[in-house]
Every structure is written in C-alpha cells, then in structure tokens.
Chain A
C-alpha cells in the first residue's frame, strides 16, 4: 500500500472534520478497503477510522424499529437481532467469513454498495432509512448503481433504521468462488405491502422487483410468482452465470424467500 495518514476520532464531529481533507477516506471494518490498499488500487491521503466512535456502535430496538449504528459489525447484528429481526440476523450471519463478520460493519457495507453484497438487499427490502451525520436518506433514494450511493464526500453513515416486518427472509445463491451473492433476494411483508429487493443480479446494483411485490401483495405465497420473471437484459453476465441464468435465479430465490418467510 501507499503511505497514508491515520486518524481515529472519538466523535462523529471530529470524524467529519478529519474527512474534510482532500483524498481522506473513512475506514469502517476495512474488509474491502484494506485489500484494495494492499493492491495499490487506491491512494487515500488519510484514513479516518470510525471504530473509535461510541455512538456508531449502538444498537437498539424500539416499537417495531431496529436501529443499528454504522460501525456495528455483522457478527454483532447476527447476535443482537436474532430475536427482534431474525431475517436480518440470518443475513448478517452468512456474510463473508468469520473475519469479515467480526470486522466488517453495516455502515461500511452500505457505503461501499458492492453490487453483490447482502446488506443492500436487506436495507432496500426493509425500506430502511440511512441516517448520516447530515441527513436521513430512504433506502429507495440511497442506492444509485454499482458502488454508487447518495452519500456526499465526507458523509458518514451513523445509523441504519430498519422497520421490522411481519415476516421476511433472505435467500442467497452463492457465486462459487467469492461466495458473494450471485443472486440474493430479500423479501419482506409489511402491513403497508411487500418489498422484494434483489442483489448480485443487476448491472444497476440492488433493485426492487416491483412486479413480484404486487403479486405478493395479493397473495404472499410462492405460487403467486408463477409466470413472473425479470428481464434478462439488465442482468450481469459473467464467468459465473449468464444474464439469463441470473434472471432465472431471481425467480427461484424469490420463491424460496417467500416460502421460507412462511
């Protein structure tokens, strides 16, 4: 890696100030950023670690809303949400490997917005709110494509608020090498309607499958999806699966998520 400055502030205000420097970069759990730096694929002037900010480590449940601090690790979510939001806990418990789960953070994952990551599907599928140092952003407004989000330079995710659904489930079909999602589908049933979010599949990143949501609003059952399919045109086609295969898997994984949600 190239040389960089390192700061570890203890408050959000200090972190925001530290990130004001040109080419400063926030560091969450480092599970994506550190390997990138090791390969010299990024050259930040300064890394600002968010792991020393107590406020970002908080996790609380309140009246059907689960609020997770931006620096909470996947392993902590897997443990803490097991009762309050089991589908989310289950998703978190299957991200990456133990090192990733014990270092990687929800804020880091959502800020990076890898098109095959799991958390974007949970956030979009839950209609979560991304809370930053400056504002609140609905998940529908937050995800803007591959590795693109609504975050401004230097903006920090302080928390993510998840409305807890009546039922939900996440089904991930593994890319054989990386074990990221080749296709992952998060389906959640709320009083206000069903949400279905798909990760791994689209060239535009995580997306909602509105036709499936409408069908599931009418009947939250796997066979409600019979005959529905996503257009292969916008899907990713690569070494691990064609566009058509991914489009097909979206249907299969959605049915399985609905079936598993009960």
Chain B
C-alpha cells in the first residue's frame, strides 16, 4: 500500500492550488506605490561603435522621468562572471567588461543601449523612439570557426583575440592519447553540433527596483532561481552596496531552466535607477525581448573520436569542442563547457583514457550560459552518438556494446576527475529493455513498414553530476562561489513548522516535497510543515536551485537542521519525563522513554520550549529553532538508460516519436509523482532540442528564430505518453537522504536516443545516413535521405 504521507508518498502539489486558480504571486503581479516603468532601447545590430546618443528630444517627451545611457554606469562595476577557468597553459580566461548599458560599443542584438524611465510604459516606449543614435558599423563575428581564425574582427578590441580560453581536461598528454588511437583496432569519428537553444520559461523575466530614503534600503523583486546569489553579485561586484541594505525577493517564478540563475543587467539597472529616480522602477520583459536578452543555452561544435580494441572495448576517447560564449561572459558561462562538461565525458563507461579539448569563443551573439543540464547534455550527446555510430560501423548491437563497456564496480574513479559513489548501469539497462518492450519492436517495425513508414529504435545511457560540490574543490577549479546550501527549521509554540530554505522552487514542487521530509523525520502530518523560500530577508544564505541540487544539498541542510531540532526536543522531553535524553525515542510525533510507557507528544514539547516553566533553563536555551549549512562531500550521480522509438515519413522526412521509455536511478525518492513530472518535463525539452528548437543566427548576427513563429517549442502533440520507471535505486552514499536529484535527467538523456532512433529508422529503409545535426526537422531529415 503506497504511503500517503512523508518520504515516498505522492501527495498532490499543494502550490498548484494557487497556480491553477490564478492566485499565484509572480513578480509582474507586484506593483509598488508610485512606481515608474522602464523601457530598454535595445540594439538592433550585432556590432557597432556608438558614436553618439542624443536623448534631448526624448527627455522632453511627456511622462519621462529620466533617461540612462552607458555613461551613467561608467562608475559602477560590470556584470561579473562566477567562474574563472585556467587554460591549458596555466593562464586565466580572457574576461571582458560586461557593462549594464552598452558604452562605446554594441556587441549583440538585444544589448541595452539606453533605458527610458517614465510614468507609463507607453510613454517610455514613445520616448525611446525619439532617441537619436549615431552608430558606426563594425563587422559581426558570428561563426565560431571564423571568430578563431587569424585576422578575424574582434568582439572585444581590448582582448587579444576572440578566444576566451583553450582548455584541456582528462589526460593532457597528446602523445599518449594519440598512441592509444594509433594502436586501436577501430576508431569511430563523428562531427556534430549541439544546437543553440532559448530557454523560454513560460514567465518572462521581470525586475522591480525599490528604494527607501527613510531607511536607505533597497528591495529588488526579480524572477530569480537564487536570490542570495543575485544579492551577492549585485552588491559586491556591480553596485557596491552593503548587503544588509539590500533585500532580494524572488516570489512565484514561472520556470527558469537555468536562464534565471544569472545576474542580469536589468536587475542591477532597476536597483540603481530606483534610487536615482526616487521612485520604484519596474521592467517586464516581452517575449520578443526574452529571445534577445535571456542567456541562451548549448551551442557547441564538436569532433569526437572513440578508439576500440579488437574485442570492442573502449580504449580511448578524445574530443575537440568549440563552445560559444556569446558577446559577454554570463554568470556561469565559462563553467558549462569546462567543468560541467569535461567531467562527464567518461559517461557510464570504463574508457581508460579520456582527453577533452575545449575552446570557448566570443561572438556577437546573446551570451550563452547554463540551460537544463548545462554541459552534461552536451557531453552525453557526443558520447552516446559516437557509441551508436561505432556500433553500426562494427556491426555490433548498440545495447550490447554499451553493456560490455559499463562501469560495474563502485566507487569508480573516472579519468576525468570524478568519483562515482554508486550506481548500477546494468540494472537500469535491464529495466529499460523491459519497460521499452524491446521484444515487441520487430512487430511494431513491421506494422510501420506496412503503412509506408520507417521505424527506428534508439537507446542511450546517461550519467549526470548533480549538486556540484564540495565548495573547496570547486573553488580550486575556479568557482567564485560556495556551493553549499542552508535551511532554518523554525518550530512554532504549537508544533507547526516553518522551514526557511536557500533553495528556490520555480516549478520543482519544493513546497510539497520538502515538508514531506521534515514531517517524516518527526512523525507528524506534513500539513504542519511549510517552507519559506525566495526572499533574502527571510531565509538563510543559500545558493538557490539549479543543477538538480535542491533536495541533495538544501534538502540535506534541512535534514541536519531537523536533526538538531529533534536532539534538542529530546532533551526537553527527557526533562519533562525525568529521564535521560539518551533513552528518548521519537516515533509518530511521540517522545517515549525506551522500554517504558511514558510518553510526551511533539506539541507538548514545542509548547514547553516556548513556555519554559518546567524547563532546564540552566542547561538549555528556550525556543526551538535551528539552522544548518550543508556542503556536500561529492556530487551525486543519477544515471539511467533511455529508449526512443520513432516513425519517419520517407516522403516528407517528418519524424514522429511513437514511444519513449526512461529507466532512471535517482537514489531514494521523496515524492515519486513529482519525480515523474520532472522527468516528463525534461524529456519534453530534450525532445524539443532533438526535433524542433534552434536559435539560428544569420551572418550579420541577427537572430532568425526570434519569436515563436520561427522558434519551434515542443507542444503536447510532439511528444508521446512516456513510460518512466525509477525503481532502480542505488542511494547516494554521502548525503543523509540518499538522494541524487532528478531535474535535468530527462533533458540530458533524451536527445541522443531520439537521434539514434532516427538514424536507425533511416538505415532500416536503406538510407546510408550516419548523422544528422539537431534539430531533426522534416527538411533536414528529407535532405539527409536525399543528399
């Protein structure tokens, strides 16, 4: 019988009541008394010098409060990059200034050139049209290969080139790696593109800056996944404000997928402008602005080579990747193609030699940063595609080739710096073959062929590293932030509990799942527990939600804080029952003295803590509130195997996904329903990347897919009903809940399965197609079939 409460139960998401009935409180729902509105004049060319900006006519327009240009921000800092990567020669990455408003030079379409603050948004827009810009054309740098060529125009004149860093990871000995390839029985090579994506959360970004002259305090309301990170970066690096005078509130946030991790210019602008204007300043992004101002994702071009011996064992892997940074370094941009990508290149396999080479490149495009999976999908895609290609070249079964090379003993030290603590890749593959009904595929293919369709089956494995940590190690690797998290458990006098967490829920369902843990530990009903998140004024300093870290890192902090609560409560209970606290047991919300029938209820202990009449005051402080900071000992390593079945219409190239099965090992699971939902959402985005989504630029640096008319988002009828199984569970060995994280798995694990399936379908139809770059649009599939 499934549990109806606590860890392992699937209560419906309590936050959905307000989301589904229009009672949510999103940032745009917030209006501050007397607020003005800002409209950003954004660059419509990719690269230009700003010879002059004449705002005089605009300033005289009705309702205009103040107009800001780059000159107004010359004295404040630029947007910082949160990770400094050291290149193969020991040199730091090239790190250009990232201004709040373009100063002297425009470097991408969408960059802010001027900001008009006015009484109404329409007045601000009217005035922006009256700003006269005198621009000097500069050639746009768009293609990464061309950007790295000698003599290329530079995105940043003050840097030596368009190369941000040239990085090597794994085995840096070129000769040793080459020797492994020279002695291989077979080498498979694949060149591929990991397509640039726009995150497109349902809620566009919003920022409201407010300032109190009375208290000299700033409040920033913003659509953020990590309000404390925003406060730290904005205060310490950009505006030079004391943190205790700045409160950052991220209320209900309608999806982020990574794009709301980063500190954006608009946040610093609204904070700065509120004080400068003496009024709150509000900005709500339009969807059109989002396409050209939210950080994009992916955009890697890779050559990958896999060496195998005569028995089909993987002997070496080498990759050469160019990764697009865009025009400036967004907050975690440089970590994505390096430490979040190179460390995953071993995948689920015991390849002894791995060398990862990455060049990151500046171009006149929107900055690129983490998007659901962040580096790990790029690694998984390359690896799982080249393995599939190798299997075809060798005439091997793709599943058998993978099984043969699986890591089977744990802990396992990879050649790319990680230690996988636990996993069972054979078990997830066994489960996948069962869930995907591999046995029935031949019959399904025959049925498709009868209808004139080509049917293909594709499989891939993935490993993910979640909850990036520990802080001291990632600090050595270049992280400029800690990666712990924090929770404060505040027990009220009548026994209900508020848990203030550093994680931020913007679709993950924390408000439902986190209370399940605390309630389970104490043995009370989860309705007695609420979490508080998204407000630096109310929660301890936490690092927010991204990288599938929330339950593994913040959840662990919450467990530690709850353990402190329980330990203290036992002392109080021991006092009440005149026993030793070592003899107190807590079960189902009752404290009992072991071996006796003496007991005292949770609520009585809580009341005693706050009304300490009968209380050991000389030994114990009153009250029941504890905080814990938790810094994990290691990453967690969710892993799994995915299978996709497609039909291809040979007349049109249209791909339809007929079946998709996922077998994941997430370790222990708090709320299976929420985990299903996370996987479903990730699969939708992975399938979107594989078949539909493409942020394409022309050679002038104009985004061709700058609206939903040309940027294809996955819709309900683009995806099948999924078969999702997470019954394979090897608990994480180093966190108290044994959890691993599940937020990104679907997006990491699905693109190669889709592409592998399409290639299988085409080859079954006699088409000699070895690879098609994503998205596998009908036009691209047809062109490949008829190429």
Residues of A in contact with B (beta carbons under 8 Å apart)? 39-40, 173, 176-178, 182, 239-242, 245, 248-249, 252
Q: Are A252 and B783 in contact (CB under 8 A)?
A: no
Judging by beta carbons under 8 Å apart, are A176 and B783 in contact?
no
Decide yes or no whether B711 CB sits under 8 A from chain A.
yes
Question: Which 8 pairs of residues, A with B, have the shortest CB-CB distance?
Answer: A177-B712, A241-B779, A176-B712, A178-B709, A245-B779, A252-B651, A177-B710, A239-B704
Query: Judging by beta carbons under 8 Å apart, are B652 and A249 in contact?
Result: yes
Residue of B654, B708, B777 most packed against chain A (CB within 10 A): B777
A164 to B696, CA, bound (A): 43
Which among B651, B709, B779 is the interface contact of A177 at CB below 8 angstroms? Answer: B709
> Given contacts A40-B125, A245-B782, are A173 and B652 in contact (CB under 8 A)?
yes
Beta-carbon contact of B711 and A177 below 8 Å: yes
B692 contacts partner chain A, Cβ-Cβ < 8 Å: yes
Nearest A-chain residue to B775, judged by Cβ: A176
Give B292 Cβ to nearest chain A Cβ, in Å: 13
Q: How far is the CB of B758 from chain A (nearest CB, A)?
A: 15
Question: Is chain B's interface secondary structure helix, strand, loop, or mixed overall?
Answer: loop
Q: Closest CB of chain B to A45's CB: distance in Å?
A: 16
Contact B288–A240 (Cβ < 8 Å): no
What are 28 A-B pairs at a CB distance below 8 A?
A: A40-B125, A173-B652, A173-B654, A173-B778, A176-B691, A176-B692, A176-B712, A176-B778, A177-B692, A177-B705, A177-B708, A177-B710, A177-B712, A177-B713, A239-B694, A239-B704, A239-B710, A240-B777, A240-B779, A241-B778, A242-B779, A245-B653, A245-B778, A245-B779, A245-B783, A248-B782, A248-B786, A252-B652
Q: How far is the CB of A181 from chain B (nearest CB, A)?
A: 13
A49 to B694, alpha carbons, bound, how many Å?
38
What residues of chain B have their CB less than 8 Å away from a CB belonging to chain A? 125, 288, 651-654, 691-692, 694, 696, 704-705, 708-713, 777-779, 782-783, 786
**Bound CA span A60–B574, Å:** 87
Q: Closest CB of chain A to B539's CB: distance in Å?
A: 38
Nearest opposing residue in chain A for B698, CB measure: A239
Residue of B nearest to A256 (CB): B651
Chain A nearest CB: distance from B47 CB in Å? 22
Closest to A240 in B: B779
On chain B, the residues within 8 Å of A245 by CB distance are 653, 778-779, 782-783
> A150 CA to B666 CA in the complex, in Å?
63
Q: Which residue of A lies closest to B714 (CB)?
A: A176
Residues of A within 8 A of B712 (CB): 176-177
Measured between C-beta atoms, what is the minimum distance from B127 to chain A in Å? Answer: 13
Beyond the given pairs A239-B705, A245-B653, A245-B782, 7 more chain A to chain B contacts, judged by CB atoms under 8 angstroms and listed by A's residue number, are A173-B652, A176-B692, A177-B705, A177-B710, A177-B712, A178-B708, A245-B783
Return chain B residues, CB-CB under 8 Å to A249.
652
- When distances are taken between beta carbons in the complex, the residues of chain A under 8 Å from B708 are 177-178
Write the chain A residue with the least CB distance to B126: A2
Q: How far is the CA of A196 from the CA of B255 in the complex (A)?
A: 46
Measured CB to CB, the nearest residue on chain A to B694 is A239
Docked CA distance A39–B708 (Å): 14
How far is B778's CA from A178's CA once the two chains are assembled, in angstroms?
14
Specify which chain B residues have a CB less than 8 angstroms from the CB of A239 in the assembled complex.
Answer: 694, 696, 704-705, 710
Residues from chain A with a CB closer than 8 A to the CB of B779 are 240-242, 245
Q: In this complex, what residue of A is CB-closest to B782? A: A245
The distance in angstroms between the C-alpha atoms of A180 and B508, with both chains bound, is 34
State A241–B786 Cα separation when bound (angstroms). 14
Q: Report the minimum CB–CB distance from B703 to chain A (whole Å).
A: 11
**Which residues does chain A contribute within 8 Å of B711, judged by CB atoms?**
177
Among B288, B654, B692, B777, the residue within 8 A (CB) of A39 is B288
A252 to B652, CA, bound (A): 8
- Kindly identify which residue among B694, B710, B782 contacts A178, using a CB–CB cutoff of 8 Å: B710
Say yes or no: B692 contacts A242, CB within 8 Å. no
B-side contacts of A178, CB under 8 Å:
708-710
Complex-state Cα separation, A249 to B782, whole angstroms: 10
Q: In whole Å, how far is A237's beta carbon from the nearest beta carbon of chain B? A: 10
Listed residue (A176, A182, A239, A242) with the most chain B CB atoms within 10 angstroms of its CB? A176
CA distance A249 to B691 in the complex (A): 19
- A residues less than 8 Å from B705 (CB atoms): 177, 239
* A242 and B783 in contact, given A176-B777, A177-B709, A249-B652 (Cβ under 8 angstroms): yes
* Distance, CA A39 to CA B653, complexed state (A): 35
Cα distance A40–B41 in the bound complex, in angstroms: 14
> Considering residues B652, B653, B705, which has the most beta carbons from chain A within 10 angstroms of its beta carbon?
B652
Chain A residue contacts of B654, Cβ below 8 A: 173
